[in-house]
Structure 1
Amino acid sequence: MIGGNRRAIGLGPYPEISLATARDKARDAKAKVEQGVDPIEDRKAARAALAAANARTLLFSDAVDKWIIAKMTDRPEKSQRAIRSTISRYALPEIGALSVQDITVQDVTRAIQGVWSDKPDTGQKLRSYLEGILSWATVAGHRSGDNPARWNGNLKELLPAPSQVEKGKVGNFPALALADVPAWWAELSKRDSMGAMALRFAALCASRSGEVRGATWDEIDMKAGVWTIPSSRMKMDKEHRVPLSPAAVALLKMVPKMKDQPLVFPSITGRTMSDMTLSKVMRDMQEREEKAGRPGWIDPRTGRPAVPHGLRSSFRDWAAETGYDRDMAEIALAHKVGSDVERAYRRTDLLERRRAMMGAWADFLTGKDSGVVVKFPTYISASD
C-alpha cells in the first residue's frame, strides 16, 4: 500500500532473479514505503537519471556530425566540407575524444591557440564553430553549464584580441640571445621527455611547434635526410621540405617508435601533443634557473623569458650574423620570399644549400662551432 493505494512492483524474472534475491528486493521496497518513498517512482527516477547521464557521454567528434546535420545542411556542400575540414584539422586532434560535457575552457584554448596567431581568420572561425557545437550540445541535453568556447568574459581573458593578431600588435615572440643558445641546448639535452625531444627537433629544424607536433613517420625519409611537410599542415598551404642535419637524424633515431602510432612525438594519450607541452619544458627550464639565482633564458630585447616560437627568431639572427643568404634563411623558415612573379619562376627550394646551413646551425646549437661565414666579393677584370 502506497499513499492509501495498492500498487504492484516487479522484482525481476525467474530464474535470473533467485527467490532469495526477490525477497531482498521486496524487503528493500517495503523499507522505502515505510520511509514515505514510492519505490516505483524512485526506480523511474533512477532510470531517467541514468538515461540523462548516458546522453551526456556524447563525444565531441560525434557532436560535430550531429551539429552539421542540424545546423549546416542549408549551406552549400563546399561550405560544409570547409567547415568540417577546419574542425577536423585543428580541433579533433585535441578534443575529439572528449565528452562534450567534460570539455573545459582550457581544452578549447588548447584546440585553437595553435591557429589563433598563425591564421587569425581561421582561428576566429574555428572558435565560432566550437561555440556553436557546444551550444547545440547544451540545448540538446548532452551537456550543461557555461559554454567554454564563448568569447566575452571567457576566452577573451586568455587570448589576444583578433584585431591585435590581425594587425601584428601581439609583438615578437621572446627569443634566446645567441650567446645563450649553446648553454640552453646543453640544459635541454639533459631532459629526455617526449616534449623535450620535440622541442629539440623544433630547434634543430627551425620549425613551428605545430609542424613538429603533427609530424608523422611517413613524412620523414631517414635515408635521404629529408622531412617533407604536406601543404595541409603548413601555414602558407605549400609543401615544405626540411633538410635534416646529422644531429636531427640522430635525435629521430632516439625517439621511441611505437606500433600503430603514426605520430613522431605523440602525447601520453597517443594523440597530437599539446603546444603547451613544449612551452612547459621551457618554463620549467626558466624556473630552474631562477631558483638557482640566475636570470635564465631571457630575450635581451624584451627582457621576457624565451618561448618555443622564439627559437625561429634566434635561428634567423644566427643566419644573418653568420652571413648566410637572406632568401635561403627565409625559405628555411617557410616564409614567402620575393614577389609573386619571382616565386613563379623560382623552381628550386635550395634544399642542398640549406642542408649545409642547417648542419652549421646544429653545430652552433651543440656548441661545436661558433664560427662566422665571411663572404668575399667576386671581382671581374675588364678582360673577362
Structure 2
Amino acid sequence: MAKVTVKNVFKLPDGKHSVGPNLNLVVRGNSRTYVFRYSVDGKRKEKSLGSAEKISISQAREQAEKFRVGLSEGHAPKTNKEVLVENVRKEEAPTFEAYALKTIDKIASVRMWKNAKHKAQWFSTVKTYALPVLGKKKLADIKKQDILEVLNPIWLTKNETASRVRGRLENIFSYAVSDGLMEFNPALWRGNLDRELPPPGKVQKTEHHEAMSLEELQGKIDCFYPAINRTRQVILFTILTASRVGESVPAKWDEIDWDNKVWSVPAERRKDGKPYPHRVPLSTQAVELLESIERTGEYIFSIKDTLGSRYSLAVLLKRMTGSQATMHGFRSTFRDWAAENGVPDIVAEKCLMHSTGSAVVQAYQRSDLLEQRREVMQRWADAVFAKFAG
C-alpha cells in the first residue's frame, strides 16, 4: 500500500493507498476517493469523505481526525455536508402536532373507516395524551423517553387507553419513518417499550358489561312494556333482537321485510365488517312492537326524522330499571340463556352477529342459518315475556 503524497495523489494505480490513521485513498480507474475506515460494535464500516479532485490531502486528514475524536466521544462520523443537510432538515421538519393530525386523516382514508367515530377517537386520544408532551417537538427529536413520558402516567391506571395511545403513536411514527423524517419508531413495543413497561395483559383488568340475569330481565320487563315512547321502544327492540345499539338505534323502515319477518342490518352498520346485510329474524313480539310504532320519517326510532343519541340510552336504562345494567349487557343475557337452553354455539353466535370458527370454517360455512335462528329468537322473546302479567 503506497503512501499518498501531494505529488503522487493523481498518479497512483488502482487499489487502496494509505493517507493516515484510518484514512485511505481508494483508486478505481479515474475515480480517486478518500475513505475513512472505522469500527462500531465490532463491525467494520467505511465513510466516504469525497473526491481527491475536490478536497486536498490536508483537508481529508483534518476531517479524519475530527471523526476519530467524535468516535471517542460516541458520535457517528458525519461530513460537514451531512451535518448541514441534517440541520436544514431539522429546521424544515414538521412538529409532531402538525404531522400527526395530517397523518390521522391519511390513515382514515387508507383504511376506509366507515364509522366517523374511529377517526374522532384517534384525534381525541392523541390530542389529550400525546400533544401536551410531543406537540411542539420536531419528529426527528422524539425518542423513547418522550413516549414513556406520555404513557407512564396512565399505563397502570388507564391501561386500555394507554395501549391504544401507544398503538396509534406507533402507526403515526411508522409513516414518519417511511417519509424519511425519523430513523426509528420510538413507540414500537417489542424490543423497545416492552423493556420499560409491564405487559398490558398483566395490567388490564377485564371489565364485563353489567348484565341482568334472565330472571332479573323478566322482572323488569314492565319498565319497557307497554312501549309507549321511543326510549322504551328502542330498548325493547334491541333486547328482542339481541342486537347492538349501533345497529338498532339507526334502524330504518325500509330495512324491514314484513312478508318474511326479517330485519336487514346494512353492511355499513355491521361491526364484523362483512360486506353484505345481516338478516335478523323477527319474533312475533318484535313484529307487534314495530307495528305499534307510528311512522314519522325514514327512521323507526325517531321523532320527526331526528335520531336521539344512542349513548343516552345507558343513562335512561339505569334510571328506568334502578340497576347498573347496560344495553350491551342484554346480549350477554341472551348468550347465557342460549347456552343454558341447548342452542348450538354456532347458531347463538350468528344471532349475535359474531364470526364463527376459523377462516377455513367461515369459507365453507356461508349460510347465515336464518331459519334456525328464527326459532331461537322466538324462544328468546317468549322467555323474556314469560313472567309478564300484562
> 1:124 deviation in Å?
3.4
Could you tell me how far apart the structure 2 residues matched to 1:130 and 1:246 are? 48
Is it true that 1:245 corresponds to 2:301 in the alignment? no
Is it true that 1:285 corresponds to 2:320 in the alignment? yes
> 1:217 deviation in Å?
1.5
> 1:90 deviation in Å?
3.5
2:240–2:377 Cα contact (<8 Å) kept? yes
Is it true that 1:348 corresponds to 2:367 in the alignment? yes
String of CA shifts for 1:175-218, please: whole Å, max 9, x gaps: 11122121111232145221111000000000001101121122
> 1:231 deviation in Å?
1.8
Give 2:260's match in structure 1, choosing from 204, 215, 224. Answer: 224
Q: Scaled by the length of structure 1, what TM-score is found?
A: 0.51
Could you tell me how far apart the structure 2 residues matched to 1:328 and 1:176 are? 22
Could you tell me how far apart the structure 1 residues matched to 2:225 and 2:371 are? 27
Give 2:122's match in structure 1, choosing from 125, 149, 164. Answer: 125
**For residues 201 and 74 of structure 1, do their structure 2 counterparts lie closer, same or farther at Cα, with a shift above 3 Å needed?**
closer
1:164–1:170 Cα contact (<8 Å) kept? no
Q: Would you tell me which structure has more strand in proportion to its own residues?
A: 2
| DSSP-derived class of the 2:246 partner | helix
Matches within 5 A, 1:102-117: none
**For residues 162 and 73 of structure 1, do their structure 2 counterparts lie closer, same or farther at Cα, with a shift above 3 Å needed?**
closer
**For residues 89 and 180 of structure 1, do their structure 2 counterparts lie closer, same or farther at Cα, with a shift above 3 Å needed?**
same
Whichever residue aligns with residue 242 of structure 2, its letter is A
Could you tell me how far apart the structure 2 residues matched to 1:284 and 1:76 are? 38
Unpaired runs of 5+ in structure 2?
Answer: 1-97, 129-149, 165-199
String of CA shifts for 1:309-333, please: whole Å, max 9, x gaps: 1000000000011111111001100
Could you tell me how far apart the structure 2 residues matched to 1:172 and 1:333 are? 16
Query: 1:255 matched to which residue of 2?
Result: 293
Query: 1:361 matched to which residue of 2?
Result: 380
Q: Which structure exhibits the higher relative contact order, with contacts defined as CA atoms closer than 8 Å and separated by 6 or more residues?
A: 1
> 1:272 deviation in Å?
3.2
Could you tell me how far apart the structure 2 residues matched to 1:71 and 1:255 are? 49
**For residues 361 and 123 of structure 1, do their structure 2 counterparts lie closer, same or farther at Cα, with a shift above 3 Å needed?**
farther
Give 1:215's match in structure 2, choosing from 244, 251, 262. Answer: 251
Could you tell me how far apart the structure 2 residues matched to 1:199 and 1:344 are? 34
Give 1:338's match in structure 2, choosing from 343, 357, 363. Answer: 357
1:72–1:80 Cα contact (<8 Å) kept? no
**For residues 257 and 315 of structure 1, do their structure 2 counterparts lie closer, same or farther at Cα, with a shift above 3 Å needed?**
same
Q: Scaled by the length of structure 2, what TM-score is found?
A: 0.51
String of CA shifts for 1:153-195, please: whole Å, max 9, x gaps: xxx9xx9842477967451101111221211112321452211
Whichever residue aligns with residue 122 of structure 2, its letter is K
Could you tell me how far apart the structure 2 residues matched to 1:307 and 1:80 are? 30
Whichever residue aligns with residue 340 of structure 1, its letter is A
Could you tell me how far apart the structure 1 residues matched to 2:295 and 2:353 are? 27
> 1:284 deviation in Å?
1.4
Q: How many residues align?
A: 230
String of CA shifts for 1:39-90, please: whole Å, max 9, x gaps: xxxxxxxxxxxxxxxxxxxxxxxxxxxxxxx99998799857458x64x844
**What's the C-alpha RMSD, in Å, of the aligned pairs?**
3.8
Identity of aligned residues (%): 33
Give 2:212's match in structure 1, choosing from 176, 180, 201. Answer: 176
Could you tell me how far apart the structure 2 residues matched to 1:164 and 1:77 are? 21
| DSSP-derived class of the 1:241 partner | strand
Unpaired runs of 5+ in structure 1?
Answer: 1-69, 92-114, 116-121, 132-150, 288-296, 298-304, 370-384
Is it true that 1:186 corresponds to 2:222 in the alignment? yes
| DSSP-derived class of the 1:275 partner | coil
1:160–1:170 Cα contact (<8 Å) kept? no
1:220–1:228 Cα contact (<8 Å) kept? yes
- State which structure, 1 or 2, has the greater radius of gyration over its C-alpha atoms: 2
